[in-house]
Structure 1
Amino acid sequence: SDKQDDNAAARTFSPDTLAWLVSPEHYIDENNGVIVYVFVFGELIDAYQSQTIPLAERVHMVLRAYFLDIWETYLDTANYPKSKYFLSRDCVDILRILIRGFFQIIFIHRDHLPERYAVFFHLIGTSFCEHVFGFSRGGDPDFTMYSWYNLLPKIKLMLCNAILTLDQEKDGKARASGYNHSYLDRHGIDITALSAFPSDTEIDEESKHAYDDAVSLFSLLGL
């Protein structure tokens, strides 16, 4: 069966989780690493998933992941084994793809398209494919190409229904519920803000501030 649990991932990096970790009644020094981890990489995901944050602010959020390089450099300098004290190689590769991909998308939209178009980061990815796959698995857990074509009319109806009912609130506390899609949500989208691309100078400035943030966060860990 499909073991993916989008709700669990969303809860882990949610503002409520971070607020709980830093609250006076729950905070302990041993959780500093978890707090920084949830904040830094939760911000990276928010830079893609948010439908309202201005693009310049997203640049800062993404580049705060300088923390990753500082962490790795520290381990190399101190001769600590990265297999024990660092993220997995696959995880690091994914994070760096997200960071590079963010700026590639910005530069393509800003510099290489014939007209100025808003960039909708939350629509860039595999969410639609996963949605279709989830509906397909619901109709036939072990579907073949032939059975999928037979399911296609039903899948189309289910997608239409998902669009019509997208205003219904999702249960973020649901467990082991598989995919939980938000790409159809459109509340609060500011197309003007998502069309205001930062200049190279603005990106440089945000980069400096983000690096300072990353250094401060790493220092917070006492390293």
Structure 2
Amino acid sequence: MFETVAATLDWLGVIVFTVTGALAASRKEMDFVGFAVLGTATGIGGGTLRDLLLGLPVFWTGQPAYLLACLAVSGAVFFTAHIPQSRYRSVLWLDALGLALFAVAGAERAWQAGASATVAVVMGVVTATFGGVIRDLLGGESPVILSREIYASAALAGAATFVGLTAFGVPREVALGAGFGVCLAVRAASLRFGWALPRYRPRTAGP
């Protein structure tokens, strides 16, 4: 049962992030190859870096279905991206969903691999954010992780919630759901209400 839940989260995260990458390609009016590259890199980029850092086999090399799904989803978006009236808002909200899915899925994979609680949380953040970084860089945009928006902080909150609850013996299905909910709620609130982290302001040094 638990393996099914974890695998489902992983698949959903890959698909949702692939859609965000393909939608970003649509805003740049790329060709089909651009859609495939941007969608695939976004969908599997974070998980690839996570597995490399953990010294694990990269998940999609053993299951090429992930790669094929990214290509199929990118192709579907190529023909349907005109449907959403506001593609940028679609990217933001889909990205929030993918962020939450990957934050807990990444932390879970690291935890299952025997990583410490701290490393598991960091791997959750890496999995959730790195695909978006690739998408923004390839799309010629400033990475959202470097903006004032609450982004990596939301992934951190979700991953930490999952790891903390799991460490205290809470059933993992419950911990996954709680971590997902916390990350999505924080990110959604930042989009809805314009929440942002404090910025550094230059100050005059004292004598």
Query: TM-score, normalization: structure 1?
Result: 0.27
Query: TM-score, normalization: structure 2?
Result: 0.28
